[in-house]
């Protein structure tokens, strides 16, 4: 029986960029085995060493989670569609602020008049918005549209947590900022911009990194939390802190042309850990810095998150609690998947095994005790590489970035083998000479260097700082991105 399997963007490089493939099988397990038989490179990304599906990968059959059907024994019928959903980083009860509803001033009545004449909002609804307190985690791609629309809507107190600075590469998608903001702290620039949008609301900036030490204290005064993060440790931290403080978590994530939106609320439905109990290993899912993102995508996903925030506060419509919306910008297609609460969830089940926040960098495999690092002596700086090349030494420079990055700029004479292709192609590299591996700024080349060492290649070094450092310190004609 022929079945269509939908392939998410991060895994399409292993299916020749196909977003959907035809495979055969009578059950979910048989179909998945046929899939990896046809595309062997998928196997290690989908299955653990014991043959079980990895915990950060979910399968949905016609929008139903197979974990709540018969798992790999689930029978299939002609026309069924099986979707692979990996981690990428009823009516609404309403969220109300503490105390009585504040009166609207004359200025607020004029500003929000188009809200006030809607029966779904009205004066009472706008008062709820004015009384509400919303905390945004991140002021970047998702935080930009979130901040703009929540401020414009009249959220009474809008908190923002971010510790980054504005970079020129942010400007194609982070619409809170302009050219004059490059180099400024994002929080500082965001406050200035949002005050121009709406001077009538209270803005609460927190120029700090969200950690297990400060999350519960930061979350406590707010009614709900909006997750605009771009990494797995912070995403799991936000989820767990929301569960422990009883706050709804309005979630969004983006990658290339695809986005996800949901509301995770452990008190009323599933949390993020119910969907993805564990994160993927470091490096398996590319970040937006490595894989890119369509500039308009965070605007779409962030606006959907803002919509959910406003609905929750007003108590109107059907919230996304228990539902995950997937958006594909290339197909201009929305899909909705049903989510269920995991009765064994370690954080939000009736009998949780975790009652406090943990070390999320270690949990996600990126902490100092969990991340494999380059041993001392295996790094080489960009000036040393230049000296070797100028002296005429036979040096092979191996670039493990993606072809799209290679097209932007490269070190002259370098050889391109993307990191995900290296296990199959490393024998193509001339390893008899000095071998220097680089990526954009270091993480991918670190993995490649350690891999090559494990294969017995001795004369191999990691280029500290990658091509970014090369452009800054050696050859400014190489574009920075």
Name the residues annotated as catalytic. 288, 439
Q: What does the alpha-carbon distance between residue 473 and residue 227 come to, in Å, rounded to a whole number?
A: 36
Distance CA 284, CA 188 (A): 33
Cα(266)–Cα(269) distance, integer angstroms = 5
Tell me how far apart the alpha carbons of residues 144 and 293 are, in angstroms, rounded to a whole number.
Answer: 15
Q: At what angle do helices 143-153 and 297-314 cross, to 10 degrees?
A: 40
**Cα distances (angstroms) measured from residue 46 to each of 131, 164, 256, 422:** 46, 33, 20, 19
Pairing outcome for strands 224-227 and 133-137:
parallel
């Amino acid at each position: 029986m022929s079945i269509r399997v939908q392939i998410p963007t991060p895994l399409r490089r292993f299916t020749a960029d196909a977003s959907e493939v035809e495979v055969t099988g009578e059950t979910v397990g048989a179909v998945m085995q046929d899939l990896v038989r046809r595309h062997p490179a998928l196997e290690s990304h989908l299955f653990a060493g014991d043959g079980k599906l990895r915990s950060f990968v979910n399968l949905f059959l016609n929008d139903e989670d197979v974990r709540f059907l018969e798992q790999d024994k689930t029978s299939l019928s002609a026309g069924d569609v099986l979707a692979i959903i990996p981690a990428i980083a009823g009516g609404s009860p309403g969220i109300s602020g503490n105390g009585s509803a504040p009166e609207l001033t004359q200025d607020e009545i004029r500003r929000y008049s188009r809200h006030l004449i809607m029966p779904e909002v009205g004066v009472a609804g706008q008062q709820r918005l004015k009384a509400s307190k919303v905390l945004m985690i991140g002021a970047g791609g998702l935080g930009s549209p979130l901040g703009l629309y929540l401020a414009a809507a009249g959220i009474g107190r809008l908190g923002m947590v971010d510790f980054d600075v504005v970079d020129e590469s942010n400007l194609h998608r982070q619409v809170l900022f302009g050219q004059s903001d490059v180099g400024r702290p994002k929080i500082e620039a965001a406050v200035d911009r949002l005050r121009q949008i709406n001077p009538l609301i209270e803005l609460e900036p927190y120029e700090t990194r969200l950690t297990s030490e400060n999350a519960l204290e930061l979350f406590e005064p707010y009614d709900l939390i909006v997750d605009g993060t771009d990494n797995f440790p912070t995403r799991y931290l936000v989820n767990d802190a929301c569960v422990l403080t009883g706050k709804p978590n309005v979630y969004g994530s983006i990658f290339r042309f695809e986005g996800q939106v949901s509301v995770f609320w452990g008190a009323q439905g599933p949390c993020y850990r119910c969907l993805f109990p564990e994160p993927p290993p470091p490096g398996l899912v590319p970040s937006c810095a490595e894989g890119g993102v369509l500039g308009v995508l965070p605007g779409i996903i962030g606006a959907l998150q803002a919509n959910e925030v406003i609905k929750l506060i007003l108590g109107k419509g059907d919230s996304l609690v228990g539902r995950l919306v997937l958006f594909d910008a290339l197909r201009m297609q929305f899909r909705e998947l049903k989510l269920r609460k995991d009765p064994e969830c370690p954080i939000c089940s009736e009998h949780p095994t975790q009652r406090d926040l943990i070390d999320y960098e270690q949990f996600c495999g990126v902490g100092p005790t969990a991340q494999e690092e380059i041993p001392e002596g295996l790094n080489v700086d960009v000036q040393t590489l230049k000296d070797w090349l100028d002296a005429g030494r036979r040096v092979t420079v191996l670039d493990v970035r993606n072809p799209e990055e290679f097209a932007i700029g490269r070190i002259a004479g370098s050889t391109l083998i993307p990191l995900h292709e290296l296990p199959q192609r490393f024998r193509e590299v001339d390893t008899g000479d000095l071998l220097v591996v680089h990526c954009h700024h270091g993480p991918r080349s670190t993995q490649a260097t350690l891999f090559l060492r494990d294969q017995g290649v001795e004369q191999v070094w990691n280029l500290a700082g990658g091509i970014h450092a090369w452009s800054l310190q050696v050859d400014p004609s190489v574009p920075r991105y």
